[in-house]
Structure formats: structure tokens, C-alpha cells
Amino acid sequence: MRGKQIWEWVQRIAAVLVIGAALCGLLALALNGPELAQGGDYSSACYRTDGGDTWVCGSGGEMRIDAGGTLNVAGSADFSVITATELMGDVTGDLTGNVTGDLTGNVTGTVTGDLTGNVTGDVTGDLTGNVTGDVTGDLTGNVTGNVTGNVTGDILGSNGTTIHDNVIVTGTLDAAGEINYGSNDLYPIGAVSDGAQAAWGSTTITGTLNVVHGLSTLGAGFCTLGQAPSANGAYCAVVISGSTMTINVYKGDYDLATVGTKIHWYAIGLP
């Protein structure tokens, strides 16, 4: 009977030792992290290589930073492909690919791809692609794409940029080359009001004629002889009433001409 009791105590002590060893192993794993893979025996998808200076996540592995966590890189970080919901900070180099979200920071290099969001910062280089959003900053380079939104800053070195919206210039607009206006080059500089257009033509007038100009409201009209003055066609005058532009051709005695005279005319007004 006594031997049986001794044996039961031995079994109890052995069980306690086994449980204690297991707890110690779990505690060591929690405190020290994953063990170093030795001799190429990598049983986990994420592990540290021999020497412990490199973390490796193979197929099926993931290094995750949950909400509230931060990844701080004091050195350099190399990415073959990066997918980000928001990229904040400066990019030194080329940004190749599509960005869906806001790009906040300066880009020193060429941006190749579509940007769906706002760009806040300077882009030193070419912007190749479409930007759906506002650009707040300077663009030093060529813009080869469409910008749907406002550009708050300077566009330096743009070549062939097409703007499909209103452009508000609060400073001075300097054009080193030609400026073409409208589908038919009808917008004159220094017109009577915003959006004014110009129309012109030549016609032969006998006495009086209402010219067809295509403008809804006239601001000014001009005429001149298209031939040498004569007794039956000495000068012309313009009378404007609303959208009607009437040209009268007079003899030297102030009577209306009775012979056709070639007249050049010019009208400025709103479409």
C-alpha cells in the first residue's frame, strides 16, 4: 500500500514538471520572439535568417502593422511593388504606376501613371498621366495628360498642355508664343467685356445693308472703304441697335450711294 502511494506521488511530480517545462517554453517564445532558423530548416512563413539580421516572409507570410501601429524606417527601404491607400511625404525618384488617393509631399522625379486624388506638393519632373483632382504646388516639367481640377502653383516647362476647364489668372499672363482663341480664333485681346468675340467680312453695299455677323449683342462696329473713294461712294458709317449692325454708304453730298461700293467691316460683341 505504501509503495502504491509513493508511485502516485512520483506521477504527480512528473506531471507538474512537464507542465512547468511547457510553460517555460511558451514564456521564452513570447519574450524572445521566433527562433532563428538554423541550417535552412525554415518551418515558418516568416522567420529570421541565420545571424538574426534579416526578417524574411515567404509565400503565405505577412508582416502586418495594425491600426495605431507605426513603421519607422531610419535607413532605406526598397520595394519592388508598393500598394498604399495614402502616400504622405517626399518622393525622391520616379513614381511609376497609378495612385488612387491623395499624394501629399514633394516628388523629385517623373510621375508616370494616373493620379486619382489630390496632389499637394511640388513635382520636379514630368507629370505623365491624368490627374483627377487638384494640384497644389509647382509643376517643373512637362504635363502630358489631363488635369481635372485646379492647379494652384506654377507650371514651368509645360509643352502642349490641354486644359479642359476655366483658367483664372490672378497675376500676369506672359505668352512667349502665339495665343489662339476659340474654335475659329474669334476672341480678341482687350475686348469690350469677358467672353467677347469678333466677326468681320467684306461685301459690296449699295446704300445700306444689315450685315450678318452671328453675334447676339454688339459692343462696337467699324467699316472702311475697300476701294478708292468716288463721288458715288465717298465714305461709310455704322449704326448699332441691339444685335443689328447697319452699314450706310454715302456719296460726297451725304446722300446714300446708288452704286455698289466694296466695304470691309468689323464687329465685336457677345456670342
Q: What is the pLDDT of residues 155-197, one digit of tens each?
A: 776 566 666 566 677 777 777 776 666 555 555 555 556 667 8
Residue with cell 505577412: 62
Burial class (CB within 10 angstroms; exposed 0-12, middle 13-18, buried 19+) of 198 = buried
Enumerate the β-bridge partners of residue 205.
261
What's the residue count for the chain? 271
- Domain residue ranges in the chain: 82-180, 197-270
DSSP 123: E
Q: What is the pLDDT of residues 13-49, one digit of tens each?
A: 766 666 766 666 555 554 455 444 444 445 567 777 7
Q: What is the pLDDT of residues 204-259, one digit of tens each?
A: 999 999 999 988 888 899 999 999 999 999 999 999 999 999 999 999 889 999 99
Query: Which is nearest to 243 in space by CA: 207, 210, 209?
Result: 210
Q: What is the pTM of this model?
A: 0.42
C-alpha cell at 86: 495614402
Q: Is the pLDDT of residue 149 over 50?
A: yes
pLDDT for residue 35: 46
- Mean per-residue pLDDT of the chain: 75
Residue with cell 499637394: 120
Q: Compute the distance between CA of residue 190 and CA of residue 188 in angstroms, rounded to an integer.
A: 6
Which tops the pLDDT comparison, 27 or 4?
Answer: 4
Are 46 and 57 within 8 A, CB to CB?
yes
